[in-house]
Structures are given as structure tokens and as C-alpha cells.
Amino acid sequence: MAARDPKEAAAIRELMIANRILAHQGVVDAFGHISVRNPVNPKRYFMARPRAPELVVEDDIWEFHLDSTPVEPKTLSIYSERYIHGGLYMARPDVNAVCHNHAYQLIPYGITETVMRPVLHVASVIGSEVPIWEIREEFGDTNLLVTDNDRGRSLARAFGRGRAVLMRGHGATVGAHSLKACVYVAIYLMVNAELVREAKKLGGEITYLNQGEIKLLDTMNFAEPPMERTWEYWCRRAGFATPAPAKPAKRTKPGAAKRRTRRR
């Protein structure tokens, strides 16, 4: 096999770490998956083989065309729900990373009339309201899984121009412009769900973020400093220490070393 382009190799490495982060944060357990669009060839994407995300290593990551067929034939099993990823990449050229998870905190919002809206400033990234995809509407009784391109396209339509969609009785799908942003949205979607549930226990009307706040907060939350800060934090907690930036060497005045030598 030919050596990978450095950008592809970096994307694969980052995708492996993203799997570990999502597992450590409780967004995924034995199930769930995340993918990233190939930075060199946008008509392909990378995704791990079926394995608990916490155990994924770089060699587990395979490459797929946007119709979700593998670039190279595989003798091992492939995720049956890879069509979630391919369908969204085909529908949204601006989406470069996709995560599907079964976070239990999200399930109640897909099976009740409680709307998922952001209440936390860092959760503005989930959008003003997260839609629900009801698989029965197009496909009748199913096992709720997205196992072909027709279902993948249907899910992408429900996803629309946002960053997340709930899947009735199944979980959620998140998509964003970068892998780090996708992880950020997936984590804070789950956190926001917990906060809304707790707020409802207190009674009274909940104050959600409004459109103006969401727009301003998106600019802040997706800026490079917050993205890098959270990524570094989550990497460290998942066991991937990122190197600290090198400190600049102290400048020595010309002749100082000689003067110190003469004094000895």
C-alpha cells in the first residue's frame, strides 16, 4: 500500500483520538461512530471498522466513497450505518465530520414533545432547535437503523442546514465543518440535554438562548482558541497528552559567555 499523504495521515490520527474522546466523555459506549471527510479527496471519508470507539486504533480506520462503499474490499465486517455519514457528506459539502451516537440523555427528546433548544452558552452550537427524524414516515416499521443510501438521504433531509438531528428511539447525528467542531457539538448537545432536564425539574418556564445570542456565541465558540483549548483538555483526559508549545530560548548578550569564563 502506498504511503498516505501527510494530511490524510494526520486526519486518521485525529479521528482515532476523537473516538477515544467521545468514549471518555460518555457520548458513545460500545456503540456509536465518528467519521471525517478525506482532506485530500473530499469525495471520500474515513471511518473506523465496527469496534467500541474506546478501543479504536489507527489501523482500524478505513476509507469509503460517499456512497459508503469501501475504497478497498474488506473481509471484516463494516458498520451497517455508515450510510448516515455518506448521506450527510453528499447532501452537505460544508460538513467535514459526522458523529452518530446513542447518548442516553438525548433519547427522551426524540420520543416526547420536549423540544431540544440551547440553554448553555457553549451549547449555542447545536442550533436554535434540533429537529427529529422519524424513520416511520418514509420507511414504515424498521429496526430503526440507517442501513442504505435511501435512509441516509432521508436523514440528511431532516438534518437540513443545522448541526444536529435527533433520531426517534435511536440517538442523534451531529455534523460540523471540522472534526474538532463535531466533537465539540456532540459533547455539548449531550450536556445541554442534561441541563434542560434538570431545569424542568425546578418548574416554571425555561429561558433558552435567542437567535441573536446564538449567532454571537457561534462566532465565539467556533473560534480557534476555544476549539484548541477544549480539544487539548479532552485529549489529555482521554490519555493523549498534547505537547506544550516550546518556550523561546533566552537571548544571551554577545560576549556574556566569555566574560563569565574570565571570572572563573
Catalytic residue list contains 81: yes
Residue among 107, 133, 88 nearest 190 (CA):
107
| Amino acid code (one letter) for 223 | A
Q: Which of 14, 58, 72, 81 is catalytic?
A: 81
| Amino acid code (one letter) for 75 | T
Specify the residue for cell string 420507511. Answer: 139
Specify the residue for cell string 473506523. Answer: 48
CB atoms within 10 A of CB 6: 10
Let me know: does 47 contact 79? Beta carbons within 8 Å: yes
Q: Which helix (H) or strand (E) holds 47?
A: strand 44-48
Give helix then strand counts, H and E, for the chain.
9, 7
Let me know: does 34 contact 53? Beta carbons within 8 Å: yes
Q: What is the largest CA-CA distance in the chain?
A: 90
CB atoms within 10 A of CB 71: 14
Tell me which residues are annotated as active site: 81
